[in-house]
Amino acid sequence: MSGGEGLRLLRAADRGATPWKNGGGVTREIAARPEGAGTGDFAWRVSLAEVAADGPFSSFPGVDRTLTLAEGAGMDLAVAGVRHLVDERFAPRDFAGDEPTDCRLLDGPVVNFNVMYRRSETRAETAVVRGVLALAVAPGETLLVVALDGPALLHRSGDLGPGSGPASGPASGCAEELAPYDAALLTGGPGRVLRTAGRAAVVRFGPAPAADAVRG
């Protein structure tokens, strides 16, 4: 469903559940590039993963991951034998997707907001925000906005009046409303303003840095 120039709405109600690569859980894909890519050929992929039992995570060679706990008490992860306690909601955690990773649930099932990207092709920066945030898409970039906790609104930049805050309405025009776990994919067009009294994830994708720049 389109939300206007340079913006595509991706509704949570339209997603189906698919098994993990290793069969140990289910995931609901939000977006991927190339569109329709499988687990072995995506440049980037964003999903909500439901974890109901202890066990290993799937391995993704050449892929980096950013995991954000969205629901539940959390997990005790062992990534290449190093312990990572993930017990704070809405706090993004980075780790390598090709390292062996085992998960132990702390107190029942969890839902994770999961960003995966092939490090040779793509960079991805994930932030979880609340309040009011101006969004602009630079050439060569894509932004994905996902409402994680409560609804969110997306306005064109000129639609918010002076003093508008998370609980106030737009000064003019109309807003696109994101219900919990709805998403908006921004590829260009006019600037947007994100407004939420809850929490929303903003993921910025761009080309991977050149090898010489990384070494320098």
Q: What pTM does this model have?
A: 0.88
Contact (CB, 8 A) for 180 and 147: yes
Neighbours of 203 (CB within 10 A): 26
Contact (CB, 8 A) for 70 and 48: yes
Q: Is the CA virtual torsion 115, 119, 120, 125 positive or negative?
A: positive
| Cα–Cα nearest to 135, from 200, 192, 176 | 192
In angstroms, the CA 141 to CA 171 distance is 29
184: left (phi over 0), alpha (psi -120 to 50) or beta: beta
Mean pLDDT by 10 residues, the chain (216 residues): 78 91 84 91 96 91 97 97 96 96 95 97 97 95 97 83 45 77 94 96 93 45
Please list the residues that pair with 127 across neighbouring strands. Answer: 202
Q: What is the DSSP string of 136-154?
A: ---TT-EEEEEEEES-EEE
Query: In the chain, what are the domains?
Result: 14-118 (2.60.120.10), 122-207 (2.60.120)
pLDDT tens, position by position, 49-77: 999 999 999 899 999 999 999 999 999 99
